[in-house]
Structure 1
Amino acid sequence: MGFEGMRVVLTGGGRGLGRRLAGEFAQRGAHVFVSARDEAAAKETVRGIEWAAVGSASAYACDLAQPASVAEFAQTVSARTDRVDVLINNGAAYLEGPADDERIAETVQGAATGTILLTEKLLPLLRRSDRPDVVNVVSAAGEPGHHRSPAHPAFYAAKHAQAGYAEILSHRLRPEGIRVVSLFPPDFVQDGPRTAGSPLTAASVADCVLFAVGPPRDCFLREFRFEQL
């Protein structure tokens, strides 16, 4: 599957799944605008892409919990490209165990408010693409009735908000040809055997993201739900 010449914006690209997704899209010919709360981590992702001599990427700081940071990142992207073909809303701080007010607020603001603000600001660039996709890496914690993750209730709340926004956005943008698809993976591991009896891996989630943007334009997939062991 090739994405030659495509412009991809990715949040949470400094580590884990985000770093893997940046590499996968760049390897297939896309230019990836890699953002992370820690700009040094985003730059490390870009260095890995450059070292592998595949595709291209650029690194940016974007703290999704800070509206001013989101606005600055969106403005920078707008100044450097005439369109966005794929927006991957992957950035979100996982929260588990006891947490103070600040961490709770950051969790909700980052995954919910930050995702909404960035998507809204990049919609004009998505509308200029002839194959626009918005991919939301939500979480099984955003599914109604899911209780299996040990995540803090604030993380559940943030992911439910993200899922609700994605659902109505999918409905409203479909007439414009903008596909909005959400993935609801359970808690997954970064590496491991990809067998039927093993935990879900980041590599498998990344494959699902690639699949989500691959179908022809008459195919609108709204959600990816995962069976959990």
Structure 2
Amino acid sequence: MQEHLLIVGLGNPGEKYALTRHNIGFMILDRFVYAHHLTWDNDTRSQALYARLNHTKTSVFFLKPQTFMNLSGKSVAAFCKYHTISHILVIHDDLDLEFGAVRFKLGGSSGGHNGLKSIDSMWGNEYVRMRCGIGKPPLGEHKPKEQCVIEYVLGEFGAQERKRLEEICVYGVRALEFFIDNPSLGALQNAFNTKQVRNEQV
């Protein structure tokens, strides 16, 4: 049986969340699917939207869980139950990286990210991560830190950020194309780990 690569973008379903910082995983996958003329289909068993790319080396599935962020792992686990998945790459927003930074790593802590926590609880944490920096939220004087974080990740990118967001999405697509052609984390890190996505790189 052929093994497959699964690329998961994290986010929340619905127009309300479409342009929020927490949905950058969805945004990059949408850009990839559009660039490669693929289509999203609904998989009711895993409560997710999925697309498939038949590559010369392997078949690649792209997954957008529709369970809301906190239950992303439930969707991923259900999808993996019906497909032979050899490797997983998860695209997610990261508060610990400045906006515009993109880094790749294997495993490690969820860093408090509820989508990663959910996947870790259902699958384990040995998967590749595309960490897309969104920066830290401004802390309000009269608000708990946790509330500030929630409002920030569920808030939309600002006008100036959106100009950079397109560049980041293109950069993410190129990184995915590279990884699909050459599924080596070391090579991916050497080619695409960056402190800031710059105009000349996209």
Length-normalised TM-score, structure 1: 0.43
Length-normalised TM-score, structure 2: 0.47
Greater strand fraction, Structure 1 or Structure 2: 2
